[in-house]
Amino acid sequence: MPSVRFFLLVTLLAAIVLAVPTPTRRRGIQKRSFKVPRQLNTAHPTGPNGPAAMRKVFRKYNFKMSDDFMVKEGFISQSKQAESEKNTTSTAPVSGTNGTGTVAANPEENAALFLSPVDVGGQTLNLDFDSGSSDLWMFSTDLDPQLIGQHSVFDASKSTTFQKTTGAQWQISYGDGSGAAGTVGTDTVTIGGVTVTNQTVELANQVSQSFVQDTNTDGLVGLAFSSLNTVNDGTKKTPAKTFFDNVMGDLDMPVFTADLDPDGTGVYQFGAIDSTKFEGEMTWIPVKAETGFWQVSSTKFAVGDQLFSNPQGSDAIADTGTSLLLVDQQVAEAYYSQVEGAQLNAQVGGFIYPCAATLPDMSVAIGDSYMATIPGSQINFATVDQANTTCFGGVQGNQGAGLQIYGDIMFRAQLVAFNGGNQSLGFGQKPVPQ
């Protein structure tokens, strides 16, 4: 008898445990903030790779690696090299229909280092939360099985809540011809226990090789402004809304925060700001939302405690989908002029230095009222040689592209809140880990 009672008790407890943490709720009730973990992508082909991270951000924003610039800076012509690489592999353009097309690229270039679980129509996918784009897209069963490989894919036929949006398409394409494209629908999407019942979801039926090779990234959750969404349904209506735009009204605060640890893992929180994670008050800076990005001006910088004005002064984007802190070229030059043994290296494609060097702190202006400081101890990005004696910096130059991209290197040191309500960014300096 006791064993039966015990069994009943265990069953009852199990039922309670199962019932509590999965509050699949309808929109607009009860749950007002939630957290989503960001985990290291164990299938990432190489781990942190400086040159690949550099190529990824240049590709994402269609920045050109300028020949002139590279000659001046002592680069060999990497864009020519990229061009010839492109011609060595068969290429099916991303546009058009039903591609099993592959585009040349080093596999790791589009690889997301960090991923978070997302439930779409009852199917769990590992997606990369990207504040630098606005599409929620995923690998799907519309893809050729060879392209799917080990990916988790979304199977629309197995979702009872999926509805196809007839005639609509989406497409992300990069300057070098790589990208992804496919069809569109709506489905129930749950992130961190919060559900949106009519979320626009984008099913890939074409992906370029760089996405294929990254076997643990099943797609992206775009968290920039909805105006950048690529869904085209043949009308000129309002763009499809991002997940954040859809949940915003239901949250305690219309914000999400990126709290990323120095190792790049961490937490995205929607609806609340954890003020124990930073020192002092948060500083709020309005963004230029009309660009579609979380974009601010950034006309000053500091190396250590020496303040400079940035002669180019390009605007900057806060991008959780980029690894590096990509700054105007002169800013990177000024920074590495303070690092013993640093050089801009042609073969590697960026600034490198002896791993034993001491790196100064770097600060970049966020609007007119805030300087975001990244301690020198958090600026190293990766090693570039087997012996681990030469290092690739997390601060790199944009080669005159006219836009600065502030990625993970910044989020290691700053708690950043993305406020969709008044379209601003909140910054808080995190304590330096001992």
Contact residues toward ligand NAG (CB under 6 A) are 83-84, 87, 98, 142, 186, 198, 200, 240, 284, 286, 383, 387-388, 419, 422, 424
Cα–Cα distance between 85 and 360 in angstroms, integer?
A: 37
E strands along 98-154, which residues?
114-120, 123-130, 136-139
Active site residue 130: yes
In this complex, which beta carbon is closest to ligand NAG, that of residue 220 or of residue 240?
240
71 CB burial (10 A radius; 0-12, 13-18, 19+): exposed
Residues 33-59: b if buried by 16+ CB within 10 A, e if exposed: bbbbebbebebbbeebbbbbbbbbbbb
In this complex, which beta carbon is closest to ligand NAG, that of residue 11 or of residue 422?
422
Catalytic residue among 319, 328, 361, 408: 319
Contact 149, 211 (CB under 8 A): no
In this complex, which beta carbon is closest to ligand NAG, that of residue 126 or of residue 378?
378
- Least distance (Å) between residue 330 CB and ligand NAG: 29
Catalytic residue among 130, 176, 245, 250: 130
- Least distance (Å) between residue 293 CB and ligand NAG: 17
Give the count of beta carbons closer than 10 Å to the beta carbon of residue 89.
11
Place of tokens 């949250």: 251
The alpha-helical segments, DSSP class H, found in 307-356 are 329-336
Active site residue 214: no
- Least distance (Å) between residue 253 CB and ligand NAG: 6
Query: Which residues, in sequence order, are CB contacts of 274 under 8 Å at separation 6+?
Result: 257, 259, 415
In this complex, which beta carbon is closest to ligand NAG, that of residue 356 or of residue 387?
387
- Least distance (Å) between residue 100 CB and ligand NAG: 8
- Least distance (Å) between residue 69 CB and ligand NAG: 19
In this complex, which beta carbon is closest to ligand NAG, that of residue 200 or of residue 378?
200
Give the count of beta carbons closer than 10 Å to the beta carbon of residue 404.
25
In this complex, which beta carbon is closest to ligand NAG, that of residue 54 or of residue 240?
240
Give the count of beta carbons closer than 10 Å to the beta carbon of residue 85.
13
Residue 289 one-letter amino acid: A
E strands along 247-324, which residues?
255-260, 266-270, 279-286, 295-296, 300-303, 306-309, 316-318
- Least distance (Å) between residue 408 CB and ligand NAG: 18
Which residues are part of the catalytic machinery?
130, 319
